[in-house]
Amino acid sequence: MSIKRIVAIGLIFVLSCAGWWILGLATAARSTAFFRQLGNKVEVLWGVPLCQEAPALSVQVPGSDQVRWIMPLKNEIMVALKTDYRKKGLMWYPTYNCSFEGSYLITNQESVAQKVRLHFDFPAKSGTYDNFSLVVGGKPASAPIDTKAGVGEIIELQPGESREFKVTYQTRGIREWRYRTDRNVGRVQNLDLTVTTSFRDVDFTDGSLSPMSKEETAGGMTLKWSATDLITAQDIGIVIPEKLNPGPVTSRITFFAPVCLLFFFILIATISIMGGISIHPMHYLFVAAGFFAFHLLLSYLVGLLDIQLAFVISAATSVALVTSYLAAALGKSFPWKTAAAGQIFYLVLFSYSFFFTGITGLTVAIGSVATLAVLMRVTARVEWSNVFKSSRKLAASPTPPPFP
């Protein structure tokens, strides 16, 4: 292989890198430039991250304007979170349906009658709520409802009397769900909070309280927080798992493409040296174009099809283009099956590793070491000086006369 050919192949590689850089930036712009704008639209249509605060209970201190905060003697909460992803552009948003049911018990431990002021804040001020009810002592509350100001109710209790009130509703949110204990009292008694999810990939918000128990169910998880007398400033928070976003994944695959092409060029060069096959730089150019076709198709198909299907179509098209071209251009002497296996390994397998978080680097490392081992094995007895020497002699020899 002459120096001129090496330089020409290098220029082709640099040109390909520039093309992938432009395509990667365009894909990233399509997926992230309007992320905030589209995210706001999703929140308007679907809801915001929900944070349900515990109901606040207070009594007015006789003869003053001050209030004394009290806490329920029982806090039983049942929550169901069911994912319902929404797609805008090239992004999936982790939206979900939330069903809430809270049951609380308060007791007048004083020797005189008390009027307890109950205040309940909605988890989202501008949210939409279905089947909302506030039941006090078995009777629905008649207080007016304002989702921004919350709901208030006066509960009259005689000395030693207990009263239970329940709050239920269904609503929708995005990204995460939280439950916050009453900050006015700083503690919660007889807590029994159960969250059932439609997903098993459960994660928790930063600084939140971990569940006391976890149990897998047929469709997800059951998480429980239980405590007799808990003093904490931590929220209980669950992160809704992200769905594989086609835009960011496609842009990362595109930016990684030069590594795939470099490995494949090394494979082609090795076949050229070991088999004595003359491979012109133009052949490398068309091979690079075949690789580029994979990322070009993938970038635009993900906006129309499922990302898995778009990946299969793009990969099959690219492998067919490159393999059929090498077989037609270099004849039967070229081991096109080896080239096809190399493209599947370096392009398809390396790219597909981006679908799994945290294993891309390991996949590339294993592939690099395996490639090095194979190259060292097959080229161990190659006389490199003779390879480049013969190339110089071949280049210096006169051109044979044309056939008559």
pLDDT digits (tens, 9 = 90+) for 168-189: 999 999 989 999 998 888 889 9
Q: Which of 180, 215, 239 is the last residue of a domain?
A: 239
Contact (Cβ atoms closer than 8 angstroms) between residue 164 and residue 105: yes
Residue 400 is predicted with a pLDDT of 43
Q: Are residues 136 and 229 in the same domain?
A: yes
Q: Which of 224, 239, 254 is the last residue of a domain?
A: 239
Q: Are residues 69 and 16 in the same domain?
A: no
Q: Is 138 left (phi over 0), alpha (psi -120 to 50) or beta?
A: left
Range of the domain at 16: 3-32+245-396
Among the ranges 132-146, 278-292, 324-338, which has the highest mean pLDDT value?
278-292
- How many other CB atoms are there within 10 angstroms of residue 67's CB atom? 14
pLDDT band at 165 (very low <50, low <70, confident <90, very high): very high
Q: Are residues 252 and 220 in the same domain?
A: no
Q: Are residues 96 and 128 in the same domain?
A: yes
- How many other CB atoms are there within 10 angstroms of residue 398's CB atom? 5
Q: Are residues 81 and 207 in the same domain?
A: yes
Q: Are residues 258 and 364 in the same domain?
A: yes
pLDDT digits (tens, 9 = 90+) for 224-283: 999 999 888 889 999 999 888 888 888 889 999 999 999 999 888 888 888 778 888 899
State the Cα–Cα distance between residues 268 and 335, nearest whole angstrom: 10
Spatial neighbors of 196 by CB under 8 A, at least 6 apart, are 78, 79, 80, 81, 217, 220, 221, 222, 223
Structure tokens at 216: 């897998």
Q: Are residues 229 and 262 in the same domain?
A: no
Q: Are residues 51 and 108 in the same domain?
A: yes
Give the mean pLDDT of 18-30: 87
pLDDT digits (tens, 9 = 90+) for 27-43: 887 766 555 555 566 66
Give the mean pLDDT of 331-354: 87
Q: Are residues 177 and 133 in the same domain?
A: yes
Contact (Cβ atoms closer than 8 angstroms) between residue 105 and residue 189: no
Element (H, E) at 151: strand 151-157
* Residue 160 domain-assigned (yes or no): yes
Summary mean pLDDT of the chain: 85
Whether the model clears a pTM of 0.95, i.e. scores above it, the answer is no
Q: How many domains does the chain have?
A: 2
* Residue 41 domain-assigned (yes or no): no
Phi, psi for residue 216 in degrees, rounded to 5: -75, 140
Q: Are residues 67 and 123 in the same domain?
A: yes
Using the predicted structure, report yes or no on whether residue 396 has a pLDDT greater than 90.
no
Q: Are residues 192 and 279 in the same domain?
A: no
pLDDT digits (tens, 9 = 90+) for 59-103: 887 767 788 888 899 999 999 999 988 877 677 888 999 999 999
For residue 361, what are the CA distances in angstroms to 178, 252, 345, 354, 366?
A: 34, 13, 15, 9, 9
Residue 393 is predicted with a pLDDT of 47
Q: Are residues 276 and 359 in the same domain?
A: yes
